[in-house]
Amino acid sequence: MGKHKGGSFSLFDSYMANYQQNSTNMSDNAAGEQAPSLPDSMRVSTLLEQIGCERSWSQDQIDNDLRVLDRNRLYFIRDLRSLSNYSWQVIDLLPLVRDLLREAVTPGWDTEQNYYAEKMKKKAKKKEKKEKKAARYNNTMIGEPVQPDTTRTAFRNGASAPEKGEKEEKQKNKKDSEKHSSSSSSSSSSESSDSASEVEISKGTSQTTSTFSGRPIQAVDNQRIRVRTASGAVYECDRFCPHKKVDLTAWGQVMGNTLICTKHNWKFSLEGGGSGPKGRTVHPCRVNDW
């Protein structure tokens, strides 16, 4: 299989001599041309025996490697050049033998592999950076989840909470007074008074619910919200705070006639044209319907 015997002619030695001479000429007279490669018709056994001789391998070791190549039908250099990256990995050769053969067949393949691996690594880092940037942008536009907080819960109830509590207290006092007066009258007048009292209380309760129930901030669309102040005035203004683009449907609260962004404590006077810190505004306009 192409073994050296005595002083017989060696195709590989002839190739290496020509290769060194061509390399010298290339550096002097033909810079930019590629170095000549091993001929496709050269037998793999010749190449492997030359590598084994340079590395001081025993003949048994070389024969074992040749049997692996024969079993995989790799007889010529062109057969090795036909192998894919995966095929090189699955051939049952020692890593050193496999790498030396591949370097001889395709000089610089390791450098090229490292170049593409580094290129793919840079692409992956760039993609990951873009995804993180997009995620931060989405979190800023949507707003962070609302956390349970006693102060914010009180703000959400708005100015309607004290008024509702005051009316309920009046209704309770009125009910107690009517019960006290009805105890001194006849049973028929007592029943009539109780019925009238219950009807009046029901009307008051339903009126209070329809007027003051719910959160005083409602979303109109993706850019605007509707705000009800303590005086009952209704305004339509920007949905996002001009400071950090925080969504006011989640972070906004109403105190009196002032719209407050509770995330950074920015306040906007709705009756004063919606002006806030640093001259920023939420561009309010008064509307008739809630």
What is the mean pLDDT of the segment spanning 82-105?
Answer: 88
User: What is the rounded CA–CA span in Å between residue 278 and residue 118?
Assistant: 48
Helix or strand run (H / E) with residue 242:
none
Given a cut of 80, whether residue 163 has pLDDT beyond it is no
How high is the pLDDT of residue 201?
Answer: 46
Say which residue the tokens 């002619």 belong to. Answer: 9
Provide the 10 A C-beta neighbour count for residue 28: 8
User: What is the rounded CA–CA span in Å between residue 284 and residue 290?
Assistant: 14
Same-domain status, 182 and 226? no
pLDDT digits (tens, 9 = 90+) for 109-158: 666 555 556 677 778 888 888 888 777 777 665 555 555 455 555 555 55
> What CATH number does the domain containing 269 carry?
2.102.10.10
What is the mean pLDDT of the segment spanning 244-260?
Answer: 88
Same-domain status, 121 and 181? no
- Pick the closest to residue 69 from 49, 85, 54 (CA basis): 49
User: What is the rounded CA–CA span in Å between residue 254 and residue 267?
Assistant: 9
25-34, 52-61, 144-153, 157-166: which has the highest mean pLDDT?
52-61
Residue 147 within a domain: no
**Secondary structure of residue 257 in the 3-state scheme:** coil
Domain boundary among 192, 212, 232: 212
Strand partners, 254: 259
Count the domains in the chain: 4
- Comparing 192 with 214, the larger pLDDT belongs to 214
Same-domain status, 22 and 65? yes
Same-domain status, 36 and 100? yes
How high is the pLDDT of residue 241?
Answer: 92
Same-domain status, 102 and 121? no
Residue 149 within a domain: no
Same-domain status, 237 and 275? yes
How high is the pLDDT of residue 76?
Answer: 93
83-92, 142-151, 179-188: which has the highest mean pLDDT?
83-92
Same-domain status, 206 and 232? no
Same-domain status, 195 and 259? no
Same-domain status, 200 and 248? no
Same-domain status, 135 and 207? no
Same-domain status, 89 and 44? yes
Q: Measured between alpha carbons, how far is residue 249 from residues 69, 192, 273 in Å?
A: 72, 47, 20
Strand partners, 268: 259
Residue 154 within a domain: no
Domain enclosing residue 78, as ranges: 11-107
Same-domain status, 20 and 102? yes
What is the mean pLDDT of the segment spanning 248-273?
Answer: 87
Domain boundary among 212, 238, 256: 212
